[in-house]
Structure 1
Amino acid sequence: MTSPGRGEGWFPNVLDGPSHGYPGRLLAIEGSDGSGKTRFVNWLTATVGDRIPCLHVLAPGEYLRRYRYWYRDWNEPGDEPVAWRTDPVADVGLALMGIGDRLVRQSAVIEPALRQGHLVICERFALTPLVFKSDRIFLEPLRRLFRPDAGVLFDAPTEVLVERVRARADIPVPPDFVAGKRREAERFRRLAESNGYAVVDTSRSDDYPELRPILEKLLDGSMREEVHP
């Protein structure tokens, strides 16, 4: 299992990937489990989907997400038993598989949608891998991912994140989970700052007033009526 507490010398890398240069828009959504990413994606697609073609890309892909190595220390229904405990070599291999999956999906799914002028909402795009692995071997391929037109970190106090996770896990979370979640959230914040991502507090249930100016600018005012009812 890849843990935010594993390894020494972690630091918040700057990605600065290439611009995609297409008429579409790429929105990157990052954040810990329990930060409300999926709720936001559902809200956004329901809000603008009638007027703007939207594509939601969840990274890594469904197959890899069944392996609980990527960012979870607990079980959920459908998890594969493989990689529950991995040796260091397998841990690196699985992490590289997750990054490779992102690069392949960028070419096969994201780029064609951007070329057609779609809004691509990519959940767990480039920052998530760096929360757990900051070594050069992981950084260099991640720098081939497109620089998003807008990047947003969904954030909340650690206690809120932990309670949301506990509500959906099928077994009790490990005793050290809270400390690990706190480190993970702090790393997300540092990565967001170094990579120019907006940070939004999602501890409240609302219609994302902090995000509306960002979305309006991202979509060149084409969603003005939707985000300002």
Structure 2
Amino acid sequence: MFITIEGGEGVGKSTNIAYIADQLSDANITCIVTREPGGTPLAEDIRQLLLSDRDEAIADNTELLLMFASRAQHIAGVIEPALARGDWVICDRFTDATYAYQGGGRGLSEAKIANLEQWVQEDLRPDITILFDAPITVGMSRAGQRGELDRIERERAAFFENVRNCYLMLAERHSDRFRTVDASETLGRVQASLQPIIAEMKHQFLVRSKT
């Protein structure tokens, strides 16, 4: 299975990805954890280009194309080989993040992103997407406690409101694969909310193991 984890800033993705991976490992499911942008040495270099400060402003279309350049390398070098081996992949953000950040946040057209999605990914799509959702004030307060913010994390609140709204729209549109978790709750309650989702994934593992 290809599992993607989505959400805005400060929603606790990293902590809960480790929790999900541990739970699946306890069920004897071999999975790898990776992230976007990044995941391979070249894709991580592109990540640095995207997130680091520079004197020259990055055009919105440049940002979009760099995201998909990193994704193309990531798919070829990590995601597809892992799935071909029969491993599960847990990815910290994927193309839904591009729709949310470059589409919702930057205002780039959905059709443009969809064309790149089809070109780079062909038929590859996540099986399950877990969206960690929290009000922007909560997320940004937490993000600020992590240390220095990167180029995108320093955007205005209105940008992140648009990102969040786009994520929620995607979750409604693709309700067959999205599972939304209230990330404003305590860690214990968030992980309790993850239990039925993890149980669903374990069930899928048993079903697929028998076929």
TM-score by length of 1: 0.71
Tell me how far 1:94 sits from its aligned partner: 2.8
Q: Deviations along 1:174-221, whole A, 9 cap, x unmatched?
A: 6x7223222221111112211221211111212522222222222326
SS of the aligned residue for 2:184 comes to coil
1:200 pairs, out of 176, 181, 184, with 181
CA distance in 2, matches of 1:97, 1:45: 28
Identical pairs, percent: 26
CA distance in 1, matches of 2:77, 2:85: 13
SS of the aligned residue for 1:81 comes to coil
Q: Deviations along 1:151-172, whole A, 9 cap, x unmatched?
A: 1111012221110111124269
Query: Number of paired residues?
Result: 185
CA distance in 2, matches of 1:116, 1:179: 42
CA distance in 2, matches of 1:36, 1:191: 20
Are the equivalent residues in 2 in contact too, given 1:56–1:120 (CA < 8 A)?
A: yes
Q: Deviations along 1:53-101, whole A, 9 cap, x unmatched?
A: 11112011122222345xxxxxxxxxx3337623x4xx31232121122
CA distance in 1, matches of 2:3, 2:76: 16
Unaligned runs of 5+ in 1: 1-24, 70-79, 224-229
One-letter amino acid matched to 2:156: F
Unaligned runs of 5+ in 2: 39-43, 207-211
CA distance in 2, matches of 1:43, 1:193: 25
TM-score by length of 2: 0.76
One-letter amino acid matched to 2:160: K
- The alpha-carbon distance between structure 1 residues 83 and 117, as it changes in their structure 2 partners (threshold 3 A), is farther
Are the equivalent residues in 2 in contact too, given 1:154–1:199 (CA < 8 A)?
A: yes
Aligned position for 2:209:
none
Tell me how far 1:109 sits from its aligned partner: 1.0
Q: 2:12 matched to 1:36?
A: yes
Aligned position for 1:82:
54
CA distance in 2, matches of 1:157, 1:181: 10
Tell me how far 1:45 sits from its aligned partner: 2.0
SS of the aligned residue for 2:45 comes to helix
Aligned position for 1:142:
117
Q: Deviations along 1:82-125, whole A, 9 cap, x unmatched?
A: 37623x4xx31232121122122112211111122212001111
Q: 2:70 matched to 1:101?
A: yes
1:190 pairs, out of 169, 177, 197, with 169
CA distance in 1, matches of 2:94, 2:149: 28
